[in-house]
Amino acid sequence: MAEPGRRGRVVALLANYCWVQLDLPGPDGVRRLLCTRRTRLGKSGQTICVGDWVQVEGIDWPAGRGAVASVEPRALLLDRPPVANLSTVVVVVALAEPALDPLQLTRFLITAELSGASVQLVFSKVDLLPVAQVDQWLQRAAGWGYQPLAVSTAVPQVAASGLEALRQRLSRPGLAVLCGPSGVGKSSLINALIPDLGLRVAAVSGRLQRGRHTTRHVELFPLADGALLADTPGFNRPVLPQQPADLIACFPELRARLAVGSCQFSDCQHQGEPGCVIGAAWDRQPLYSQCLNELLAEQRRSGGGSRAADAGLRQRGDRLEPRLEARYRQLSRRGQRQQAAAELNLPDPED
């Protein structure tokens, strides 16, 4: 009689294989299996991501091998890097080496918000800047709607309180994913949180001031009982959502203002339209506008739902501006003459 399948969680993907951590140990305490994927999964179009809960069959306990037979439905999914069933996305950015780019940071925060998980912002390498500048960034990010933490792995005593606060927040049951640009110290941060791990790290390129990729794949590591931490490869340009409404929802400061008041028009893009409750006096408005313009430009290039008018905007030169509803638009002089001629039953004065 065949042994029933075992439930486990995918903790790493390596080429055509995956490591699965079982819920319950097998013979001789085996908890981790190197698994292939059943052919029927590929034929049905099912993919496997780190963080997936799966059923493993055909287990060879002495060899520590098995095959993934099915994948359970996912609760949440981070698209890039692909991680399933996460609870928290930790966006890690360095304040120096490489220098912090507010637009890049905003794009990473948008990626994190799109996952639907809670978002934690961490500033690393804070020992490289004066305390006053670090405090300015902490206050600025707090105004965006986050509770940022400042950490340093090179000089732990500089930001020991931030590291301990992060450890406490991530030690709750769930899966936390660290994401951010290359070279900001994600692997170093995990080494500080899990000292026995010893992940490989590398210095930032001196000539280009760019991070060097040391993490090549996503892998989960146990931080506390029921708490997992995922290290991910760095990348420098996160993608934007496809629709303006999804972009708006990725800014906590916009969500907070819209929760207590609504704009006059339902298609408001918060670009200075009449009756907009947001206005222009908020810190990330230029960053939001840049992301929105890029999103709409990509829509026009792809041709799907790409008309700026569909988003309540119109093209003027190389920029987009709000499109007023018809009842608020003023007729041109030619239009006024045509309207007057029509009312008097006269021929069009331009004919």
CATH number at residue 34: 2.40.50.140
**Number of folded domains in the chain?**
3
- Is 190 found in the same domain as 84? yes
Among the residue ranges 114-118, 157-161, 249-253, the one predicted with the least confidence is: 157-161
- Is 219 found in the same domain as 179? yes
Angstrom distance (rounded) from CA 123 to CA 100: 9
- Is 134 found in the same domain as 30? no
Tens of pLDDT along 35-57?
998 888 877 778 899 999 999 99
Amino acid 202: pLDDT: 44
Q: Which of the two residues, 91 and 336, has the higher pLDDT score?
A: 91
For residue 276, is it within any domain?
yes
- Is 200 found in the same domain as 88? yes
Read off the amino acid at residue 120.
Q
Residue 163 region by backbone torsions, left for phi larger than 0, else alpha for psi between -120 and 50, else beta: alpha
> Closest by alpha carbon to 117, among 148, 85, 145, 150?
85
The boundaries of the domain holding residue 282 are: 244-328
Amino acid 302: pLDDT: 77
Q: Which of the two residues, 270 and 304, has the higher pLDDT score?
A: 270
Amino acid 263: pLDDT: 86
> Closest by alpha carbon to 135, among 154, 146, 149, 145?
149
For residue 238, is it within any domain?
no
**End residue of a domain, out of 231, 254, 284:** 231
For residue 151, is it within any domain?
yes
For residue 136, is it within any domain?
yes
Name the pLDDT band for 160 (thresholds 50, 70, 90): low
- Is 35 found in the same domain as 179? no
* Average pLDDT along the chain: 81
Give me the mean pLDDT over the 97-106 stretch.
Answer: 91
For residue 338, is it within any domain?
no
Percentage of the chain exceeding pLDDT 70: 77
DSSP string, 174-185: EEEEEE--TTS-
Give me the mean pLDDT over the 273-301 stretch.
Answer: 88
Instruction: Give the sign of the dihedral formed by CA 192, CA 198, CA 199, CA 204.
Output: positive
pTM of the model: 0.77
